[in-house]
Each structure stands twice: as C-alpha cells, then as structure tokens.
C-alpha cells in the first residue's frame, strides 16, 4: 500500500471508530488531530524507506525495518498512553494507532522476522533495492493489490476534502486537524 491507501483508509478506520465510540455515549469528537492520523499512517515508511533504501542500501536494501515492527508500535503506544493519562494529550497515541494500522495494511504478519523483531534475531531480511521505485510504479499500474487500495484511499480523502470544502472548514482543519462536522455520515 502506498500514500493514498495508507492515509485514506487509516482516516476512514479512525473516523468510523470515533463515531462508534461517540455513539456509545463517550464524547471524543474533537479530540483527534487528523493531521496526526495522516502522519501516523505513513510514519513507518517515513522512517524506514530512507533508512533502508538510501542509507543502508548496500547492507539491507529493505524499507521495512525498525518502524515496521510491533515493538515500534508498542513503544509508541505506551508513550502515547503515558501522555494521555498524565496530560490528557492524545497526540502520540493517535500516531501509534496510525502506525499500527500501517503494519496491518502492509500485511506485516507475512514477514514475521520483521514484525516480531528482535524475537527472531537482530537482523532484518535483506532485499534487492536497485530498482525499488520502478517495481513500485509497475505494481501500481498492473497489480490490483496495489492500485485498488490506492483508489479506495483516494476516494476517502476526496470525500473528506469535499466535505471540508462544502462546510468551509478546510482552513480550520489545516490549522487544528479537527473535524467538527455535525452530521453522522462518514466524512
């Protein structure tokens, strides 16, 4: 999954969870900074792709390393939980949720040596990354497992953008990351 898939589908999952929790009687609307949802959704790639494909290209050539581990998401979650309990600041917790969903959408269970690092040893699988970008682009136009999530994520992002524009809240959203819609449709 790439940028649109990760960000759009993560947004839809978090927004749906927010609405379900709100409907159960707990007031959480307005607590989530969706800018952090978007960053969390791609945080493992932001950290691992440059590290694995540029800096460690000769030794690893793998863009799924440290931040694609359950340990990374768990540490981020525990730090976020600490800040939530101590200061009622959910920001890092939101990043952790986005980061964890990234692992789910990347099907990291298929790479247990990475997902459960360091349980299977301290090294990560090595991959050939000479033509990494070309392989990604080729899959994006030929493989439904690549382009379908991008189309779905793009749809959710366009729906959000349309809703923000229609309600004249785009500027406010960019400033605060908050969604302050009064209706219950998936926005």
**Which portions of the chain are predicted below pLDDT 70?**
27-29, 128-130, 132, 181-187
* Residue-level pLDDT at 124: 87
Task: Give domain status of residue 183, yes or no.
Answer: no
Tens of pLDDT along 47-92? 999 888 888 877 777 888 999 999 999 999 999 999 999 988 889 9
pLDDT at 129: 62
d(CA 180, CA 120): 45
How many domains does the chain contain in total? Answer: 1
Q: How far apart are CA 168 and CA 43, in angstroms?
A: 29
185 is a domain residue: no
> Is the residue at 71 inside a domain?
yes
Q: Which residues contact 4 (CB under 8 A, 6 or more apart)?
A: 149, 150, 151, 153, 154, 157
Placement of tokens 């898939």 in the chain: 5
Domain membership of residue 12 (yes or no) is yes
Q: Tell me the HSE value of 80 on the side-chain side, using a 13 A CA sphere.
A: 20
At 159 the pLDDT is: 95
CB atoms within 10 A of CB 99: 26
In a domain, 135, yes or no: yes
pLDDT for res 186: 41
Interatomic CA distance for residues 6 and 9, integer angstroms: 6
Q: Which residues contact 54 (CB under 8 A, 6 or more apart)?
A: none
User: Contact at 8 Å (CB) between 37 and 51?
Assistant: no
Encoded tokens for 136: 């990604």
Domain enclosing residue 56, as ranges: 3-176
Q: Looking at the domain assignment, is residue 141 inside a domain? A: yes
Quick check: is 184 in a domain? Answer: no
Dist CA 97 CA 162 (whole Å) = 25
181 part of a folded domain:
no
CB atoms within 10 A of CB 120: 13
């Amino acid at each position: 999954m790439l940028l649109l898939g990760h960000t759009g589908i993560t947004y839809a999952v978090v927004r749906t969870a927010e609405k379900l929790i709100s409907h159960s009687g707990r007031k959480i609307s307005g607590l989530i900074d969706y800018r952090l949802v978007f960053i969390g959704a791609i945080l493992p790639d932001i950290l691992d792709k440059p590290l694995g494909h540029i800096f460690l290209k000769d030794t690893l050539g793998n863009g799924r390393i440290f931040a694609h581990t359950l340990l990374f998401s768990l540490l981020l979650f525990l730090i976020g939980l600490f800040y939530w309990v101590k200061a009622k600041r959910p920001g890092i917790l939101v990043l952790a949720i986005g980061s964890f969903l990234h692992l789910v959408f990347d099907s990291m269970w298929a790479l247990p040596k990475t997902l459960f690092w360091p349980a299977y040893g301290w090294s990560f699988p090595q991959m050939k990354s000479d033509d990494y970008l070309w392989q990604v682009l080729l899959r994006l136009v030929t493989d439904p497992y690549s382009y379908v999530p991008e189309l779905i994520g793009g749809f959710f992002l366009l729906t959000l953008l349309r809703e923000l524009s229609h309600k004249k809240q785009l500027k406010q959203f960019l400033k605060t990351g908050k969604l302050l819609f009064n209706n219950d449709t998936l926005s």
